[in-house]
Structure formats: structure tokens, C-alpha cells
Amino acid sequence: ADVKKIAVIAGDGIGPEVVGEALKVMKKTEELFGYQFEFEHGLFGGIAIDEKGTPLPQETLDICKAADAVLLGAVGGPKWDNNSKELRPETGLLGIRKALGLFSNIRPANVFDCLMDASTLKPEVLEGTDLIVVRELTGGIYFGEKFRREGANGQEAVDTCVYNVQEVERIVRQAFEIAQTRRKKLASVDKANVLETSRLWREVVNRIAPEYPDVELEHVLVDNCAMQLLRRPASFDVIVTENMFGDILSDEAAMLTGSIGMLSSASMGEGSFGLYEPVHGSAPDIAGQGISNPIATILSVALMYRLTFGYHEAAQLIEDAVKSVLDAGHRTGDIAVDKSKAIGTTAMGDLIVAAM
């Protein structure tokens, strides 16, 4: 049988709870579709700092490298926020991206009709919003040289933003290809009126664009994009941009949907390998209470099925099950209008499994 290896990294805060529900969903698909998964659990983030003295232990990395896909909960929390750089959960996050070559972060931001009210945007503006931010994830100012030095006016700090042609080309091609499977519109976001890396970016985009004649391309400056996301979110289809801009814009896009507890993400390397995680954080304030929303993590499984395994039927089943449970009015606390009727993490997971 075709056994798929899944590295499971529950992480911190609500991570273990939401991952637990996602695993129930995966097991249900084993039953229904005859899939076979082998799960290997690894420590990562704050819990790894506590137990192993490093946010990204070598054995966790080995488990990930041996796997076909990684399912991640969430990492971080106030407990580790004041640690030195090497002992911070986010250092592990940057490390795992680089070590696994996850150069592409795919962040769908779509609106769930029944959650439209949760957005701070007017429903008529939000209606139909369904976009994907494709963020370059292993280059740019995140990974360039960083240092301090003495300058003419005292100490100074330096960060370096570097992109080469090949790094831009692979992420932009991926974005074009994703656009081809959707509404065929691509917005490439840069700051070409100021940055050299952005000018290189735009040159590469313009050079390869003719190979995707069916995709309508626009170049948008990053400041303008931050505005247009607010003004006309539904008009975007796929947005592709570099690491730092993508960090900001993907969070803005996520928040404007009002559905941040529902959004999944994929970080992809070469080939079909991917790391899947909810967009929301570890929410330490509600961890351990059994009230967190597992839907984003469950939908991350659907994304894994589509992008890594090509299990489209099962992915659709999961997405439909989520929708039907929501349509039936079930809500966890974060998305409930009437908080007194909110259900817990496990109850939500059970309902989704039952709906499958």
C-alpha cells in the first residue's frame, strides 16, 4: 500500500488541541478512502526550547525531511518572547523554512458567507473575496546578512535584502500556474520605484509573463496594494510578492476576511513536499481550555491533500463538511455571535468528522 508519512508538529498553546482534531479528520479519510498515513510526532517551538534547549531540534528536522508532508499547529507564546534570538520559537520557524527549502507560502484569504459579519469590512465590499497571497519565503531581507557596526553617528544596524533571478522566477512561475487554475489574474506586488530588488523582480515577471498569455497581469506598488486590498478585495485573484511585503499583506488580507480562525496555509518546497498550518497563532490565552477553533487546521489538511497528495475528492469532502457544519449554525467561541451557544474544540471536530 502507498503509505504517506506525515510529520506532526503540534507546537505550543492551542497547537496540540487543533492538531488533534485535524488528525481525527485524517483518520476518517483513511477509513473512507483507504488512505494510509504514518504519523511521526516532533517537538518544535517553545516546547522544544523547554525540553531540548532549541526551538528546532535536529530530530524534528529529520522527521520532517523523512516525511511527505508536515502538519504544524502553532508556535510561540509570552513565555519565550524575551529569550535571546537563538532561543525564540520564531527562530525555529525561520530555520525550518530554510532547512526544508520552503520557498513559497500560499495563503488563501476567502470569505465564509456565514461569517461575513465577523469582518470589520462592509459586507458589500467583502462579498466574493477569494484571493491567494503567494509569498516568497526563503529570501529577501529575512535571510540577508544582518549585523551591527560603528558608523559616523554611533552604532548602526544593517539588514540586507537580496534576491536573485532564479529565486524570483520560481515563485513567480508558481503564482502564474496557480492563477491559471483560478480566475487567471495575477497582481505582482513590489516597490520598483524605490528598491533594486523590486526592479529585478519586475523584470523577471515581465520576462516570463508572455509564457502565461491566459493570465492577466498587473504590477501593484506595495503601498497601493495595502490600500486596494481595503478598497476592492474581491477584485484580487492571486497576489505574488517578496518575503517582507508578503508577511504584511497576507496578514492584512487574512484579517479583512474576518475569518482568521478559518484560514489555512501551505509552505511549499520543490516538488510536492509541503508544510501545512493554520494562519492563526498559538493563542496562549485560551490554550488548554478546549475552546479553540480547529477549522483552520482541518482546512490545512484539505490543502495538504490537494497540493501534496492530489487527494482532491477527500479535500472536497472535508471542505464541504466544514461548510455544512457552519451552515447548520455550529460555532466555536471565536466566531460565535451568541457566545453562550459556542461549542468546544472537540465538539467541532466531531461534528465535522460526522458530516463527512
Ligand X SMILES: CC(C)[C@H](C(=O)O)[C@@H](O)C(=O)O
Residue with smaller CB distance to ligand X, 40 or 90 = 90
Residue 18, C-alpha cell as written in the block: 487543533
Q: Rounded to whole angstroms, how far apart are CA atoms 247 and 158?
A: 20
158 binds, among its own copies, ligand X, none (CB under 5 to 8 A by kind): its own copies
Site string for its own copies, 164-203 (x = CB under 8 A): xxxx-----------------------x-xxxxx-xxx--
Residue 289 CA: distances (Å) to CA of 296, 311, 318: 18, 33, 25
Quick one: 43 or 74, whose CB is closer to ligand X?
Answer: 74
Amino acid at 160: T
- Please give the residue whose beta carbon sits closest to ligand X in the complex: 90
List 96, 247, 292, 351, residue binding ligand X (CB under 6 A): 247
Residue 341: which of its own copies, ligand X, none does it interact with, CB under 5 to 8 A by kind?
none
Q: Please, what sign has the CA dihedral across residues 243, 249, 255, 258?
A: negative
For residue 218, give the DSSP letter.
E
Which of the following is catalytic: 27, 184, 185, 251?
Answer: 251
Choices 22-30, 87-95, 171-179, 233-241; region in contact with ligand X by CB under 6 A: 87-95
Alpha carbon 343 to chain centroid distance? 25
**What's the CA gap between 181 and 108, in Å, rounded?**
14
Which residues on neighbouring strands pair with residue 7, listed in sequence order? 40, 70
Provide the minimum distance between the beta carbon of 72 and ligand X in the complex, in angstroms, as a whole number. Answer: 10
Our finding on whether 242 is near ligand X (CB under 6 A) is: no
**Edge to edge, what strands does the sheet with 185-190 contain?**
36-41, 3-11, 69-74, 274-278, 264-268, 104-110, 130-136, 238-241, 185-190, 216-221
* Options 35, 142, 163, 212, the catalytic residue: 142
Instruction: Tell me whether residue 142 is one of the annotated catalytic residues.
Output: yes
Specify the long-range contacts of residues 142-148, CB closer than 8 Å, at least 24 apart: 142/94, 142/243, 142/244, 143/94, 143/98, 143/243
Among 153, 211, 271, 338, binds its own copies (CB under 8 A): 153
Judged by CB, which is closer to ligand X: 72, or 356? 72
Taken as a whole, the chain contains a residue count of 356
Applying CB under 6 A, the site for ligand X has a residue count of: 7
156 binds, among its own copies, ligand X, none (CB under 5 to 8 A by kind): its own copies
Do 243 and 135 form a contact (C-beta atoms < 8 A)?
yes
Using CB under 6 A, pick the residue from 223, 270, 320, 327 that binds ligand X: 223
For residue 335, count CB atoms less than 10 angstroms from its CB and return exposed for 0-12, middle for 13-18, buried for 19 or more. buried
Q: Is 223 a catalytic residue?
A: yes
CA atoms of 136 and 106, how far apart (whole Å): 9
Residue 247 falls in the annotated catalytic set: yes
Q: Which residues are annotated as a binding site for substrate?
A: 97, 107, 135, 223
Task: List, as residue ranges, the binding site for NAD(+).
Answer: 77-90
Which residues are known binding-site members? 77-90, 97, 107, 135, 223, 247, 251
- Active-site residues, by number, are 142, 191, 223, 247, 251
Interacting residues toward ligand X by CB under 6 A:
90, 93-94, 193-194, 223, 247
Where along the sequence are the contacts to its own copies (CB under 8 A)? Answer: 88, 90, 94, 120-122, 125, 141-142, 144, 146-148, 151, 153-167, 191, 193-197, 199-201, 222-224, 226-227, 230-231, 244-245, 247-252, 254-256, 260
